[in-house]
Amino acid sequence: MPNLRELSLVTFNLYNLNLPGKPMYRDYDGWTTEQYTKKIIWTANILKATQADIFGFQELWNVDALKEAFALTGLEADYDLLSPPDHGGNKIVCAAAVRKGLLEGEPEWITDFPDKFTLESSGDDAQTPDISVNIHSFSRPVLSFKVKIREDRDPVSIFVSHFKSKAPTAVYREGWYRDDYDYYINHNESLGATLSTIRRTAEACAMRMIIVDKTKGNDLPVIVIGDMNDAQLSNTINIVTGQPRYLQGLSTGGGDADLYSVATLQEYRSLRDVYYTHIHQEIRESLDHILVSQEFYDNSKKRVWVFKEMQIFNDHLVDEDHKETGTSDHGVVKAIFKYKPA
């Protein structure tokens, strides 16, 4: 049975990792052989540089491509790769790699929101109009699995997520848009961005409900890994985490169903927030997150693990053409924890 003294986790957006020549979205030609080769080499280098106990991946099209990257590292025998068994490579999925001996049970991909998920309201007062949002599933299914990292402790539930991006939803194909094209052409960007925000916010709420249902009233540890397409202090992340308090006395804090961002924990180590995982129109943001329950929070009275450090691999973000360099358009985040119960 495993008895880790140190635990490392990585979130890694693979930027459409697929076999060469396979279609992706409206790119029917996919990667060229040369582009694919560069992509596999770069991915393998990141895997080898990080060598985490648990990798959470986003934007995987074909698991054979990920297997090839692991084979190039020489580490393929050290990990169990988790991808949907019936996945035909026709869409992107969340996946994972778990160091051998840690995985407990079978992984699950969660598509549907919780049964009782409801977004309806008649408003807080007479001035507030009714609202109703009709959405009941994740655009990218959430990967859920458990790991046993200490034989004397409960298994840890891991969720790998990929929320809707900030890119405006394409509305030009909608009937209402085409019926009044001359008007809506001036508003397609704002309408599309609003739809993306609503979808991402709903996904964050559904993820939060899943977390609360699992952690409320018990001491079961949870970790959420993923590209959540929003910043550390955004409403999206606040919904998922429950906005916990951080500045509390040693071993006196912690929230029953709260999650703690390793980015914030790192700020307490460095006194500055200087990292980013994505660049868009010269704006640097942190969209990729590792969120942990109170069992991994230094100041929690129920602490089992203490935060050691966060590492960011993001030099490649300055590349202007990620297709040609084989790099990802997201930075890779690694977090390390040490076993030290309160």
Question: How many degrees, rounded to 5, is the angle at CA 115 between CA 119 and CA 142?
Answer: 90
Chain centroid, CA 291 distance in Å: 9
- Give me Rg for the CA atoms of the chain: 21
Give the per-residue pLDDT at 40.
Answer: 97
Give the per-residue pLDDT at 268.
Answer: 84
Residue 335's closest CA among 292, 303, 282? 292
The structural domains of the chain, ordered by start, are 6-339 (3.60.10.10)
Which helix or strand (DSSP H or E) is residue 225 part of?
Answer: strand 222-227
Q: Cα–Cα distance between 121 and 113 in angstroms, integer? A: 18
Instruction: Tell me the average confidence (pLDDT) per consecutive run of 10 residues in the chain, 342 residues long.
Output: 92 96 89 96 97 98 96 96 90 97 97 96 90 95 97 96 95 95 96 97 97 90 95 91 79 81 88 78 86 94 94 89 91 96 90
Q: Are 188 and 196 in contact (CB under 8 A)?
A: no
State how beta strands 120-121 and 131-132 pair.
antiparallel
Give the per-residue pLDDT at 231.
Answer: 84
Q: Cα–Cα distance between 199 and 50 in angstroms, integer? A: 32
The amino acid at residue 301 is K
Copy the structure tokens of residue 265.
């924990």
Give the per-residue pLDDT at 217.
Answer: 86
End-to-end CA gap in the chain: 23
Give the per-residue pLDDT at 249.
Answer: 63
Give the per-residue pLDDT at 313.
Answer: 93
Q: Are 11 and 38 in contact (CB under 8 A)?
A: no
Place of tokens 């929003």: 230
| Entry pTM | 0.94
Give the per-residue pLDDT at 246.
Answer: 81
